[in-house]
């Protein structure tokens, strides 16, 4: 458009985010607007309809460009490949009415906030625009629109405490409420008239309206009425579904919009307030058993919340207060990836609260309305990201080709009928008729046929879909990422044993299956108290690992409650004590005084506990063994720690490290003021807790099915690397004979550059030798050139992050054979899926909902195994908790994709068959009669379309996944060749019939009865004698407007050809079950063919007159049947022997030196020629990194030419 982002006219909105948009300023121009209104009137509203479809044209026609500061209209264009446009009006928020209760300048408490900078003084008003439910205000200082409704990310921990800790005054809260808007996720139930209006104005229905009007003008009333009836039914069903979804979504969020909260006001104490009136920065007082109406950051006290609505994980999550540290670092960066442990999310339930010594549990409102986590999920439903699928782009191109053919036909029709002296009105009607023939109105809907019924079949198999268009995409998936725990393996864990350690020596493994009880000591204390379990409704709940560990002690959980004020402050102290079945111990129990909850980023949790009736405090830690050992004194970690850890992780066990230390302090208050770094230092290593995590029964067979279909499988897990590798081996994801190369990357330290090392893990051979040899053998071998593809890379999240930052040019090469990614954080999972997509993989992601939401949304097809509300983050949700849903979804996707292609081919070919017949008859100034059109359009094509659709419902996907995918684009040589050849066959047959009938000895252009014999002649003579010769000639002339030998021949050939093409295009194996399994479809084809054969041989005069047919000699009827048999045989042989002959196309590709343009294929070809890849037993160093370098970047691979 000529503007750059540096210009004031245009800027970027939401820069760097998923919904990034270009934003341009325009000012309404009165003269232009007047001309547009005139255009609306002169075009009978068509120009207005065009502007409705193209909002950018509307803006360009009505407005003139200007700076964003002066604009009253905003044009937004998404920066993705779709470039979707939208038009928004700039509005003003007036604050003048608040002058009396505020200073004239309306200075708020946080002077650097966006709200302060957005207020235009002295007018006291704010410019704003609302985009996808989010409000943006104009920042007068920075001259740009910025998102409002959330606290600034630049705020430090101390700033949040000092600025918002005591709350706002009522006046300041009112100002913020006016600017930020209500704290409500409002999803209106869309009125039926609005749904109807939007649906009817769809280009598809507008084209249908044009076609119906033309058909009424040509007295083609029957089919026009049929189309109207079908369209009304279709619109009604669509509106019903949309209305039902709208009501469902409205009911889902409405309950969270009217919650009574307790808010602190500066100098005003605490008061009750409706949640709609909350603003970012308000201070909330929290109690238990309440739904959060907003996102909030915890300031004082602790909370246990249920986040299943967001994560799909119905495990209680412990939240800790934001530390009040004196640092200018933004609060999120201070907490690194673990900032979520301080945040309470909208829609989650506060189960329990634990006040601090500073008073009740308090939290500051962080985000309101659609800015919240739940609001973001709702917006993802309201404004789903469109799929960039080549099928739909190719369909549009193909549609344009048909429109081009229609334009040629229109010119031909105008020339023919003008030369023959037809009236102008008749010429126009005949020309426009060509458009409705060449471009069938039902063509766009043909692409959705397979999707609709595939979705219904998936629902029967407990797989639910909120984005139906992605079903077709599932047919193209060639890489599936799996979470491990809860997805490939069972959710539950079995406590297998514990390996205590004393000093630098490990002890014998203690088996919990034995009758001996674990004696009292720090190890038993750690197992009994170092967890985040809670008692809810009389049942212990929490992480499965914590549950199994605690059950192994036979202890019980109790709580001691101290209530200062039932509405505000409730102190609950967790006590664990020996149960009736536990061994006798010399203590009454352990009180948990403080807890540092487990974090996937930190890979550990700690508690401060006190044995009842003892005065000293003890710290217990539990977490990843490597992480726990790093916090322990070296002289307490066994010398064979690594060997012991690898021994059990290589066998697929989940291993947890335990540690402790006595604290020198004696009071709870002293412990609370200690820094976590001081608490978690100089620990004493206690031992390894060993848990068994079994594979799900269905895992191995499902992975084997995917492997047989040549679909790559990748594991992305937060678990230990060795455990993940073993699970990959046991599940068949990595074959027994394959080599595994461990990739380890280390961050730069001081003057040292970052390094990356490749090591060959010969773990499988070691396990075959026996479990006593606990080393991982690092073989020093040359690159396995003979087995170039028989290797897999494995790495952890830390190495992945270093590679992203320092070795980005190596990343694509590593991803080609990367199979195991362990210790991955949720953000790294999403990043990895995106990197696979950059290589042109079609990526599926399957997870159990816990920490997988980002990756599920990022993938082309995300499949959640969770039944929680978090499934809204995933396009697909399976109620069956195993991965068998993945191959099933791929099968249905392939079947739907093939069905879309077949229906599209049929609809396009049917229109071209009819188009060719009409153009031939136009040469004789003839056409099909109304009932001939009606029979072809309604009795043949519509019925075939419905039963073919029903065929999709009856003909399930083929039960076995083929080792190749169906084509994902219409513009592919096999499909184009199929359509072109069938058009050519139809053209040859119709042209031959058209020309040969004129050369028959009985042919008489002026006498449509010259080909009749026997009874037909007597009927004609009777008619002549009774009505007189003159009347008979008048009747004959009246009847013969469409009736002719050319018409009869061409119509019969084209009609039966449509039936034959439907049969030929009914593709079955390898993606769908054979056509004969759909008895209804086969029966319909047989009946239609039988009726058409009956028309050929009937010789019933009244029937022929009604259908504008004429009788022909028996020999010519035989010729028509013979021609159709020949075209059926030729079409079938061509389709089976050429079009569907995969081996032939493979040979042609090799002969023509065709090579895939996918980036991963290009890179594979390059690496096959590289004798030094993969490197083994080698270390590389990175180049020096500039301080200001962005961590997540991959510049070396943005240009794929470097790889080729």
Name the residues annotated as catalytic: 483
Element (H, E) at 89: strand 85-89
Distance, in Å, from the CA atom of 1067 to the CA atom of 448, rounded to the nearest integer, reads: 17
Contacts of 885 (CB under 8 A, 6+ apart): 461, 462, 463, 846, 863, 865, 876, 878
β partners of residue 128: 91, 137
Contacts of 31 (CB under 8 A, 6+ apart): none
61, 46 Cβ separation under 8 angstroms: no
E strands along 588-738, which residues?
590-599, 604-611, 617-623, 653-663, 684-692, 712-716
The distance in angstroms from the start CA to the end CA of the chain is: 33
Question: Is the backbone peptide bond immediately before 669 cis, with ω within 30 degrees of 0?
Answer: no
Query: CA torsion 433→437→443→446, rounded to 10°?
Result: 140
267, 169 Cβ separation under 8 angstroms: yes
Most distant CA atoms of the chain, gap in Å: 128
Query: CA torsion 94→99→102→107, rounded to 10°?
Result: 50
Q: What is the DSSP string of 755-819?
A: EEEEEEE-HHHHHHH-TT--PPPB------GGGTTSEEEEEEHHHHHHHHHH-TTTHHHHHHHEE
Q: Is the alpha carbon torsion for 1067, 1073, 1076, 1082 positive or negative?
A: negative
Query: CA torsion 401→407→409→413, rounded to 10°?
Result: 170
Question: β-pairing, 739-746 with 791-796?
Answer: parallel
Contacts of 1093 (CB under 8 A, 6+ apart): 1121
Element (H, E) at 319: strand 316-319
Q: Is the alpha carbon torsion for 1186, 1190, 1192, 1197 positive or negative?
A: negative
DSSP, collapsed to helix, strand or coil, labels residue 889 as helix
Radius of gyration, CA atoms only, the chain: 37
990, 1050 Cβ separation under 8 angstroms: yes
Distance, in Å, from the CA atom of 407 to the CA atom of 444, rounded to the nearest integer, reads: 19
CA neighbor of 208 nearest in space, from 233, 231, 239: 231
**Helices 30-42 and 55-62 meet at what angle, rounded to 10?**
120
DSSP, collapsed to helix, strand or coil, labels residue 1144 as helix
CA 759: distance to chain centroid? 36
Residues in the chain: 1204
Centre a 10 Å sphere on the Cβ of residue 220 and count the other Cβ atoms it contains. 21
Distance, in Å, from the CA atom of 377 to the CA atom of 213, rounded to the nearest integer, reads: 44
In the DSSP assignment, the letter for residue 632 is B
């Amino acid at each position: 458009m000529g503007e750059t982002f540096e210009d004031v006219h245009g800027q970027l909105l939401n820069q760097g985010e998923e919904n990034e948009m270009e934003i341009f300023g325009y000012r309404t121009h009165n003269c232009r607007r007047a001309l547009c209104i005139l255009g609306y009137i002169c075009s009978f509203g068509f120009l207005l309809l065009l502007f409705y479809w193209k909002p950018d044209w509307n803006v360009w026609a009505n407005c003139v460009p200007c700076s964003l500061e002066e604009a009253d209209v905003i044009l937004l264009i998404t920066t993705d490949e779709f470039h979707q446009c939208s038009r928004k009006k700039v509005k003003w928020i007036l604050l003048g009415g608040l002058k009396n209760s505020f200073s004239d300048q309306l200075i708020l408490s946080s002077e650097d906030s966006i709200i302060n900078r957005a207020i235009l003084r002295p007018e006291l008003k704010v410019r704003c625009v609302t985009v996808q439910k989010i409000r943006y205000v104009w920042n007068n200082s920075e001259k740009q629109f910025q998102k409002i409704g959330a606290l600034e990310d630049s705020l430090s921990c101390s700033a949040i405490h000092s600025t918002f800790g005591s709350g706002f005054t009522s006046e300041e809260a009112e100002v913020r409420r006016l600017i930020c808007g209500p704290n409500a996720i409002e999803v209106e139930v869309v009125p039926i008239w609005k749904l109807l209006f939007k649906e009817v104005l769809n280009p598809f229905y507008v084209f249908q309206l044009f076609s119906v009007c033309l058909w009424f003008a040509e007295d083609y009333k029957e089919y026009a009425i049929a189309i109207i009836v079908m369209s009304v039914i279709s619109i009604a069903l669509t509106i019903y579904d949309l209305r039902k979804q709208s009501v469902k979504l409205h009911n889902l969020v409405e309950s969270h919009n009217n919650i009574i909260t307790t808010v602190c006001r500066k100098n005003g104490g605490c008061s009750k307030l409706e949640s709609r009136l909350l603003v970012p920065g308000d201070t909330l007082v929290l109690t238990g058993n309440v739904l959060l109406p907003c996102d909030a950051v915890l300031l004082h006290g602790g909370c246990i919340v249920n986040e299943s609505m967001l994560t799909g994980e119905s495990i209680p999550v412990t939240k800790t207060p934001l530390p009040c540290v004196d640092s200018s670092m933004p609060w999120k960066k201070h907490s690194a990836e673990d900032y979520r442990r301080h945040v309470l999310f909208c829609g989650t339930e506060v189960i329990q609260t634990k006040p601090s010594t500073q008073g009740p549990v308090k939290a500051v409102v962080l985000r309101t309305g659609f800015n919240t986590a739940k609001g973001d999920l709702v917006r993802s439903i309201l404004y789903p990201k469109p799929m960039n699928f080549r099928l739909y782009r190719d369909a549009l191109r193909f549609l344009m080709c048909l429109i081009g053919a229609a334009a040629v036909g229109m010119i031909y029709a105008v020339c023919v009928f003008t030369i023959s002296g037809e009236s102008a009105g008749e010429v126009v009607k005949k020309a426009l008729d060509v458009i409705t023939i060449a471009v069938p109105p039902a063509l766009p809907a043909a692409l959705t046929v397979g999707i609709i019924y595939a979705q219904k079949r998936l629902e029967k198999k407990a797989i639910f879909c909120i984005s139906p268009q992605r079903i077709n995409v599932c047919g193209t998936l060639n890489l599936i990422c799996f979470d491990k725990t809860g997805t490939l393996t069972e959710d539950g864990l079995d406590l297998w044993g514990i390996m205590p350690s004393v000093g630098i020596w490990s002890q014998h493994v203690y088996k919990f299956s034995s009758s001996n009880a674990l004696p009292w000591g720090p190890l038993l204390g750690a197992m009994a108290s170092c967890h985040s379990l809670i008692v809810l409704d009389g049942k212990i709940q929490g992480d499965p690992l914590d549950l199994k560990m605690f059950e192994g002690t036979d202890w019980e959980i109790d709580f001691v409650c101290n209530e200062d004020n039932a509405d505000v402050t409730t102190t609950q102290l967790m006590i664990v004590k020996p149960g009736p079945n536990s061994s006798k111990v010399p203590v009454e129990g352990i009180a948990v005084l403080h807890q540092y909850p487990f974090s996937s980023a930190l890979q550990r949790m700690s508690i401060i506990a006190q044995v009842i009736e003892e005065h000293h405090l003890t710290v217990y830690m539990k977490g990843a063994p490597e992480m726990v050992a790093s916090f322990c004194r070296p002289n307490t970690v066994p010398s064979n720690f690594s060997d012991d850890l690898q021994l059990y992780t290589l066998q697929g066990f989940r291993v947890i490290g335990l540690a402790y230390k006595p604290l020198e302090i004696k009071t709870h208050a002293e412990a609370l003021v200690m820094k976590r770094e001081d608490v978690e230092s100089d620990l004493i290593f206690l031992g390894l807790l060993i848990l068994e995590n079994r594979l799900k029964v269905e895992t191995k067979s499902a992975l084997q099915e995917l492997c047989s279909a040549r679909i790559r499988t990748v594991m992305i897990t937060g678990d230990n690397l060795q455990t993940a590798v073993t699970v990959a081996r046991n599940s068949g994801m990595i074959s027994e004979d394959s080599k595994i190369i461990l990739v380890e990357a280390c961050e730069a330290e001081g003057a040292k550059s970052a390094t990356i090392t490749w090591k060959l893990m010969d773990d499988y051979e070691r396990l075959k030798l026996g479990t006593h040899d606990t080393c991982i053998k690092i073989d020093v071998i040359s690159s396995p050139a003979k087995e170039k593809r028989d290797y897999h890379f494995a790495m952890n999240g830390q190495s992945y992050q270093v590679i992203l930052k320092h070795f980005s040019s190596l990343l694509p090469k590593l991803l080609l054979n990367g199979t195991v990614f362990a210790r991955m954080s949720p953000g790294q999972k999403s990043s990895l899926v995106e990197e696979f997509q950059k290589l042109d993989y079609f990526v599926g992601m399957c997870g159990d909902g816990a920490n997988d939401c980002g990756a599920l949304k990022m993938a082309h097809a995300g499949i959640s195994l969770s039944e929680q509300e978090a499934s809204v983050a995933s396009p697909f949700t399976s109620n069956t908790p195993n991965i068998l849903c993945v191959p099933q979804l791929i099968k249905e996707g392939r079947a739907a994709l093939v069905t879309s292609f077949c229906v599209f081919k049929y609809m396009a070919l049917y229109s071209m068959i009819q188009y060719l017949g009409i153009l031939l008859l136009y040469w004789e100034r003839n056409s099909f009669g109304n009932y001939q059109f009606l029979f072809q359009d309604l009795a043949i094509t519509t019925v075939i379309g419905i039963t073919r659709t029903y065929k999709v419902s009856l003909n399930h996907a083929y039960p076995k996944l083929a080792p190749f995918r169906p084509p994902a684009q219409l513009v592919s040589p096999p499909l184009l060749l199929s359509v072109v050849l069938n058009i050519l066959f139809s053209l040859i047959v119709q042209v031959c019939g058209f020309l040969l009938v004129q050369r028959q000895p009985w042919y008489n252009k002026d006498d449509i009865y010259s080909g009749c014999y026997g009874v037909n002649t007597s009927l004609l003579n009777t008619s002549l004698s009774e009505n007189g010769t003159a009347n008979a000639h008048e009747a004959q002339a009246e009847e013969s407007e469409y009736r002719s030998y050319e018409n009869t021949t061409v119509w019969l050939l084209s009609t039966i050809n449509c039936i034959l093409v439907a049969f030929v295009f009914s593709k079955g194996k390898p993606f769908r079950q054979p056509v004969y399994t759909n008895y209804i479809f086969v029966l319909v084809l047989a009946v239609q063919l039988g009726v058409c054969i009956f028309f050929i041989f009937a010789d019933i005069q009244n029937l022929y007159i009604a259908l504008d047919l004429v009788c022909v000699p028996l020999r010519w009827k035989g010729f028509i049947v013979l021609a159709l048999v020949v075209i059926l045989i030729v079409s079938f042989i061509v389709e089976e022997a050429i079009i569907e002959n995969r081996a032939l196309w493979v040979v042609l590709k090799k002969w023509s030196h065709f090579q895939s343009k996918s980036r991963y294929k290009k890179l594979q070809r390059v690496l096959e020629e590289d004798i030094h890849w993969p490197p083994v037993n080698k270390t590389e160093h990175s180049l020096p990194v500039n301080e200001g370098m962005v961590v997540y970047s991959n510049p070396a691979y943005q240009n794929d030419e470097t790889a080729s």
